[in-house]
Amino acid sequence: MKSLLKFITCGSVDDGKSTLIGHMLYEAKLLFADQERALELDSRLGSRGGKIDYSLLLDGLLAEREQGITIDVAYRYFTTDNRSFIVADTPGHEEYTRNMAVGASFADLAIILVDAKKGVITQTKRHTRICALMGIKHLVLAVNKMDLVNFDPKIFDAIKQEFLQLTAEFHFESIQVIPVSATEGDNITKKSPNTAWYEGLALLPYLENVDVHQNDNAKQFMMPIQRVCRPDHTFRGFQGQIEGGRIAVGDELTTLPSHEKAKVKRILVGDQDRDYAYAGQPVTIQLDREVDVSRGCVFTKDSQIQEADSFNATILWMDDSVLTPGKNYLVKVGTKVLPGTVTAITHKIEINTGKTVPTDHIVKNELAKCEFSLSDKIVIDSFEQNKSIGGFILIDRVTNMTSACGVIEQTLQGSDKVVQLDTEITREVRAQQKGQNPLTLWFTGSVSDQSALAKEVEKRLVSTGHHTMLLKNGQGESLQRLAEVAKLMNDAGLIALVSNDSPIENDQAARDIIGQEFVEVYVNRTVAGSSSTNTTPGNPEIVIDTSKFSIEEAANYVVKRIIKYLINESSRGQFLNF
């Protein structure tokens, strides 16, 4: 069976990516007769004065042909005598960096094009970093439009040296630099007489021979579960693609995160029974006994795979909105999706220099290192060790759009997380002992007034025999950790009063962590002379305007309202104004 190479083309706008692949397919006779004829006819109305416009083979959208640029990722499948290929022709415009990252996520090798007249530019550096981020280990730098610089070897060598300096920090396994002319065909399928000084292979022969495949079968067996197949009551199989290692009938598997063990009773590849299966194959596995397995679980023979609910990672932010700490998203790792929060932005990475810059926010197309906390533990690994459970995407919970892609670097455990031990003394027992229902009063809004109000409310609660704890953001304290501490206070049977000066729109993340014990008190302060009050954010349970009442009066009102939360669960969630 021929080996398969998955590769992408990337580079700046008008560097000739689509033309390069189109010319390769045309010259290597890898087109059907009707495709070749259609290309020749379409080229008569193109921008090359009747000459064949090879980019039309990949730029199929009307907007792409009108503007002469690639907008969407175009996939092509072709086979030579030596190898099979899947190529993703990706956009070069900065606006479509998201599309380029999508193409890079599937590839084993990247062809990065540069214009011989322009050399290495910012977009070249951006795409190189994204390729490294997505785990691509093999690069080809195609120095295009050499015909426009008279095939000058000095220009080629200067670009080559600059690119090799750029890539030194990334530890790519192989880098090949090839001088080409996408429009004229130099060094595309065969060596060009115009570059007698170039000693390497032409592009297509190089792609046919480069070795990019690691020995995945030598790794420990690992398979994320994509689907549970149950056509009738007699069969229950677990489907997914083997991401590493080898499995055979009779082998014992461990199911994560439940850690149940079972033996492989049957392996199906398609509808055919097999005695064994290996990395890269989609399979259905039937076990010899019933275990608790659903989509997102992982089969493994390696008990060392990690489970964690927090990690740090490098991400490419792809959303039009600004990312700030405290925002809540859906996090998809492997086949598992669950809520998660960006707890901190450590720094961003400058595209041109690679230097790290401290920041508290990032914008579209920026690279940054961030910390994340998930709603539950999940099976994960570093991207370097395991791509399938080391890469992830962030999904906007409102629009369902992909906001970022990223790679996990390490889990955060030990002192980085507050851990509560299992015990027979439950929250209910502690609450009964104190004669109250646990509650978190989350004060937001006017910073000075909410802090004073929280203190005054606590005084009144303590004076009536309630057990409380007052919390406030410390310097550098994340909203995530503040909410986790408040939840622990509730588990202890206490009433937690939290004075929070984080951005109001981030409070939903705290509500998700704390759960039904969460009561938001929004402290609004109308500006003198204003014709209307400020817009109330989200859906707070209590709203109070401290410009109309003293702190003491406001505290009396809050206490009256929260008594019903402490003694009557059914009234929780009312929207109240004062």
pLDDT tens-digit series, residues 487-515: 888 888 889 999 887 666 567 878 888 88
Specify the pLDDT at position 207: 92
Specify the pLDDT at position 536: 62
Quote the CA–CA distance of 426 and 307 in Å, as a whole number. 25
Contact 267, 250 (CB under 8 A): no
Where do we find the tokens 């022969």?
205
Alpha carbon separation from 31 to 8, 23, 55 (Å, rounded): 19, 11, 14
Contact 3, 83 (CB under 8 A): yes
502 is catalytic: yes
Quote the CA–CA distance of 466 and 549 in Å, as a whole number. 25
Give all domains of the chain, ordered by start, each with its CATH number: 4-209 (3.40.50.300), 219-300 (2.40.30.10), 306-416 (2.40.30.10), 427-577 (3.40.50.300)
CA–chain centroid gap for 262, Å, is 32
Long-range contact set of residues 412-421: C-beta below 8 Å, sequence gap at least 24: 412/308, 412/310, 412/311, 412/312, 412/371, 413/308, 413/310, 416/310, 417/309, 417/310, 418/481, 418/484, 418/485, 418/488, 420/488, 420/491
Closest listed residue to residue 518, CA positions, set 501, 495, 492? 495
DSSP for 403-447 reads EEEEEEEEE--GGGS------SS-HHHHHHHHTS--EEEEEEESH
Quote the CA–CA distance of 362 and 322 in Å, as a whole number. 6
Q: CB atoms < 10 A from the CB of 224, how many?
A: 22
Alpha carbon separation from 528 to 16, 56, 109, 548 (Å, rounded): 61, 64, 63, 11
Closest listed residue to residue 103, CA positions, set 79, 78, 127, 124? 127
Specify the pLDDT at position 353: 76
Quote the CA–CA distance of 39 and 43 in Å, as a whole number. 6
Structure tokens at 430: 């502690």
Structure tokens at 385: 């060790």
Structure tokens at 237: 């199989």
Alpha carbon separation from 231 to 211, 277, 283, 333, 373 (Å, rounded): 41, 22, 16, 27, 37
Which member of 43, 181, 373, 502 is catalytic?
502
Specify the pLDDT at position 576: 43
Quote the CA–CA distance of 381 and 384 in Å, as a whole number. 8
Q: Along the 578 residues of the chain, how does pLDDT read in single tens digits? A: 568 888 988 888 777 777 888 778 777 766 545 555 655 555 555 555 546 555 555 544 334 334 444 445 677 888 888 888 888 877 756 666 777 777 787 788 999 999 999 999 888 888 898 888 888 899 999 999 999 999 999 999 999 999 999 898 888 899 999 999 988 889 988 999 999 999 999 999 999 999 887 665 557 888 999 999 988 888 899 999 988 888 999 999 998 888 889 999 999 998 899 999 988 889 999 999 888 888 888 999 866 677 888 899 999 898 889 998 877 889 999 888 888 888 888 899 887 777 888 888 899 888 899 988 888 888 888 888 788 888 899 998 888 888 998 899 888 754 444 445 455 567 777 777 777 889 999 998 877 788 889 999 998 888 888 888 888 875 445 677 788 888 888 888 889 999 887 666 567 878 888 888 899 999 987 765 554 444 566 688 899 988 888 899 999 999 988 887 776 443 344 334 44
Closest listed residue to residue 385, CA positions, set 216, 509, 172, 254? 216
Alpha-carbon dihedral 77, 78, 82, 88, rounded to 10 degrees = -40
